[in-house]
Structure 1
Amino acid sequence: MNVMAKAKKKISSAFIYFFGSFGGILFGYDIGVMTGALPFLQADWHLENAASLVGWITSAVMFGAIFGGALAGQLSDKFGRRKMILMSAIVFMIFSVLSGVSPDIGEASAYYLIIVRMFLGLAVGAASALVPAYMSEMAPAKARGRLSGLNQTMIVSGMLLSYVVDFLLKDLPGEWAWRLMLGLAAVPALILFLGVLRLPESPRFLLRKGDEAQARKVLSYIRKNPAEIDQELASIKETAKEERQANQKTSWSTLFSSKYRYLVIAGVGVAAFQQFQGANAIFYYIPLIVQKATGQAASSNLMWPIVQGIILVIGSLVYMWIADKFNRRTLLMVGGAVMGLSFILPAVINWMMPNMNPMTIVVFLCIYVAFYSFTWAPLTWVLVGEIFPLAIRGRASGLASSFNWIGSWLVGLIFPIMTACMPQEAVFAIFGIICILGVIFVKTCVPETRGHTLEEIEEQGTNRGRVKATNPEN
């Protein structure tokens, strides 16, 4: 009997959850790799005084990701989460290699790299939308926060990996250093492609396409109890039945109908706030931030990104430990408040004590990163993965991902320009105010999702929509 059971269960749940979230490695590596590559690239291409061009090279990936997230969301509803993750890995491999072999043809080299990194961003944006959706549809409700948090652990592990690679390659000749840093991103993409080849499709997507037998088989890989499988299948089918009875045709306008508007605004709003709070300014530019604070060369400050990466990884593990013990809203509000103060206090201290030690701001940035790492960083993608109903999940996840990347792109683009025009403390104080606004948004606009099934969350949003439709003044 055990032999037969093992023969049927060919894919372990650990394998599914590991490679289901491995796309975060691509996301994280490309967020982090430019941190170390940029000082060498600036020196090699003489871009030290070209703040706008540096901003575009850094943020080009995020600009492409805006469209990659939205496109992948739509296509995943048609072709499935698994196939689109495979396609993302292929695109990522191709354009990582093309980044590493950028031609040295004067100023045109910068524009070539910007264009290549925009196409690379299509894959990064797709992964940021597809991985949370896939993980939330595979994970049981009681462990969904923890297992979806694997995505964040993969992201920050990818960032730390890129920081370590940058540090190990820093003593190579400048041109070889940054080229290898960028080109080696193809390696995790290849690993993802090989792993996802064996992954099953999401059971919710399979049921939506009418393949109940295969959906049951997939659930048998990741659910221990046959009764739990039957209950989950029945719940998913009931939701699908209601959608068919309503003869619903999902379009962009569907997202903002009274039935879904509340949940869409909540999910997209959290995704946007995560980036406009300024975290990626630290991750992309920490060597340059330390350089401006201390006067030391940015290329000699590549240990600081590793420090940030270690804090992020530890924070992601802390999150997995506390994920299903505290409400999502509580963690977001506490984290956002501390993050805001970590940005605002250096400006206040510097105003009161003009001779403040310049490293004070770096210490406060570490506090910011610590709280960000176990609150807004993982919870944004957990919420994006679980708050949207099945009928709109692919499209809405893509929209949330796109808004997230719009914030990331703008922060990456304008941060070097802002710091060239005003003190760093003032720039971070602006981000601190945005953090506080994010806390207010969570308090007033975001529902609690911990411990609820995806179907219960959808019903909560539907009921809210009915109330709003009946009492518009509310």
Structure 2
Amino acid sequence: MNVMAKAEKKISSAFIYFFGSFGGILFGYDIGVMTGALPFLQADWHLENAASLVGWITSAVMFGAIFGGALAGQLSDKFGRRKMILMSAIVFMVFSVLSGVSPDMGEASAYYLIIVRMLLGLAVGAASALVPAYMSEMAPAKARGRLSGLNQMMIVSGMLLSYVVDFLLKDLPGEWAWRLMLGLAAVPALILFLGVLRLPESPRFLLRKGDEAQARKVLSYIRKNPAEIDQELASIKETAKEERQANQKTSWSTLFSDKYRYLVIAGVGVAAFQQFQGANAIFYYIPLIVQKATGQAASSNLMWPIVQGVILVVGSLVYMWIADKFNRRTLLMVGGAVMGLSFILPAVINWMIPNMNPMTIVVFLCIYVAFYSFTWAPLTWVLVGEIFPLAIRGRASGLASSFNWIGSWLVGLIFPIMTASMPQEAVFAIFGIICILGVIFVKTCVPETRGHTLEEIEEQGTNHGRVKASNPEN
């Protein structure tokens, strides 16, 4: 036991934060890998004219993630954050390999891959829910903003990694290219599994299970001041007590009572708009978008995903720099306005100048990704983490996550169907209108959370509910 304790004490806070957030790499890799694999898969399985099957193969992961996040959240309360992250890594490894070895059975192959990717989505959804929860419970309060940026950095780094892997494998024979692209997702999952084996359990979970001695030991790895450890233990105990009381008094209907409806609509609405604005249409289909715009084969356009990935990484660094310098609403509205114009302007220019350079739309998509990367991409989850009062936080956060994954799934599913039936510029113009509607939504329905305590934010929602109740015509 003493030997184990000494070994555990060698764990540095940097190691804990790195591997605690490394699950974001898995999330990001699987978002990005299909971008490069899809052109080769389409050619190998002759799916060029099967838009609905292509949409399902691409979006199946997001469909599984809808359920994976909710399931992992409940199981992690029973078994612990660390064990569920380990389980997610195993599931991710298994189904990544099974994706890469998909049998060639004609149309049945597509259905096999859809089912396997749905099961893979369980792990993706679990990672997206477990990593932020683990990080928020391990990080000191003063570092939570930066560490939320670290999670975003891991996600976009995973996307960039998948784009680079796709590019490096593009000259292999078509069948080998897409199989290796999908199968190599098992490598970061293995790294995550080996790293998390050495991670301690969350002190919050340990306290909930009554193991205060182990919780204190874990906090000693990541907190320097003994007085700070005592204060945090007391705070965790008090918060856990309040949450138990809150959960006993609330139900799903509580979310839509006059007291909480305003904040629930704000948080869930922002989470939904983030996906319905069409970002994943770019991330999943950029080679096909360039192919349709220029006539060049999608498999020869795999440099463009790397360009998008670099923009995303730079944008996440910009966000970490400006996160606490500007109001949340300001960044969301400016970002949404530029994103909307980036989608709408190509359609307007194409209408005014029918022979415009086909790469114009790709340039505007890069502008969209740049503004998305430091506004809606990270701020959605910062705002969702701040806006829900304690009494409804668990249920409301789960609802927001579900709507976000539903939006991601639908965009991935319907984009190839839409582009098969109408001009690409028109499809993006529709997403542009949704971006503008998102700006209006933030302006009219979302309170400012920067610089406010959680209690002050809750009071804003309560006061808004009282005003609405007393002035129903408003």
Q: TM-score, normalised by structure 1?
A: 0.91
Query: Aligned in 2, Cα 1:284/1:465: closer, same or farther, shift over 3 Å?
Result: same
* CA distance in structure 2 between the aligned counterparts of 1:445 and 1:203, rounded to whole angstroms: 36
Contact 1:55 1:413 in 2 (8 A): yes
Deviation per CA, 1:406-430: give whole Å up to 9, x if none.
Answer: 1111111111111111111111111
Cα offset, 1:216, TM superposition: 3.7
Contact 1:132 1:384 in 2 (8 A): no
Cα offset, 1:78, TM superposition: 3.1
Deviation per CA, 1:233-291: give whole Å up to 9, x if none.
Answer: 44443333344556726654454455554443333222211110000000110001001
The alignment covers a number of residue pairs equal to 474
Cα offset, 1:17, TM superposition: 1.6
Cα offset, 1:398, TM superposition: 3.1
Contact 1:291 1:297 in 2 (8 A): yes
Query: Aligned in 2, Cα 1:344/1:253: closer, same or farther, shift over 3 Å?
Result: same
Q: TM-score, normalised by structure 2?
A: 0.91
* CA distance in structure 2 between the aligned counterparts of 1:56 and 1:247, rounded to whole angstroms: 37
* CA distance in structure 1 between the aligned counterparts of 2:91 and 2:372, rounded to whole angstroms: 30
User: Which of 203-212 and 108-117 deviates more?
Assistant: 203-212
Cα offset, 1:195, TM superposition: 1.6
Contact 1:57 1:114 in 2 (8 A): yes
Query: Aligned in 2, Cα 1:396/1:133: closer, same or farther, shift over 3 Å?
Result: farther
Deviation per CA, 1:89-143: give whole Å up to 9, x if none.
Answer: 1111111011001000111001000110011111111111222222233333333
Contact 2:246 2:392 in 1 (8 A): no
- Aligned residue runs from structure 1 range 236-385, under 5 A: 236-245=236-245, 248=248, 251-257=251-257, 260-385=260-385
* CA distance in structure 2 between the aligned counterparts of 1:268 and 1:125, rounded to whole angstroms: 17
Query: Aligned in 2, Cα 1:195/1:421: closer, same or farther, shift over 3 Å?
Result: same
Gaps of 5+ in 2: none
Deviation per CA, 1:376-409: give whole Å up to 9, x if none.
Answer: 1112233334444556545443332221111111
Deviation per CA, 1:172-228: give whole Å up to 9, x if none.
Answer: 111111000000101111111122222233334444444444444433333344444
* CA distance in structure 2 between the aligned counterparts of 1:79 and 1:257, rounded to whole angstroms: 32
Cα offset, 1:443, TM superposition: 2.6
Contact 1:133 1:393 in 2 (8 A): no
Query: Aligned in 2, Cα 1:388/1:17: closer, same or farther, shift over 3 Å?
Result: farther
Contact 2:332 2:442 in 1 (8 A): yes
* CA distance in structure 2 between the aligned counterparts of 1:217 and 1:464, rounded to whole angstroms: 43
* CA distance in structure 2 between the aligned counterparts of 1:326 and 1:123, rounded to whole angstroms: 34
Contact 1:141 1:453 in 2 (8 A): no
Contact 1:61 1:119 in 2 (8 A): yes
* CA distance in structure 1 between the aligned counterparts of 2:7 and 2:353, rounded to whole angstroms: 70
* CA distance in structure 2 between the aligned counterparts of 1:175 and 1:7, rounded to whole angstroms: 46
User: Which of 295-304 and 345-354 deviates more?
Assistant: 345-354
Cα offset, 1:452, TM superposition: 5.3
Contact 2:35 2:305 in 1 (8 A): yes
* CA distance in structure 1 between the aligned counterparts of 2:458 and 2:411, rounded to whole angstroms: 32
- Larger relative contact order (Cα-Cα within 8 Å, sequence gap ≥ 6): 1
Tell me how large the CA RMSD over aligned residues is.
Answer: 3.1
User: Which of 151-160 and 208-217 deviates more?
Assistant: 208-217
Question: What SS does the aligned partner of 1:230 have?
Answer: helix
Deviation per CA, 1:346-379: give whole Å up to 9, x if none.
Answer: 1111122222111111000000001111111112
Contact 1:146 1:319 in 2 (8 A): no
Contact 1:151 1:378 in 2 (8 A): no
Contact 1:136 1:385 in 2 (8 A): no
* CA distance in structure 1 between the aligned counterparts of 2:272 and 2:433, rounded to whole angstroms: 15
User: Which of 313-322 and 31-40 deviates more?
Assistant: 313-322
Query: Aligned in 2, Cα 1:266/1:21: closer, same or farther, shift over 3 Å?
Result: farther
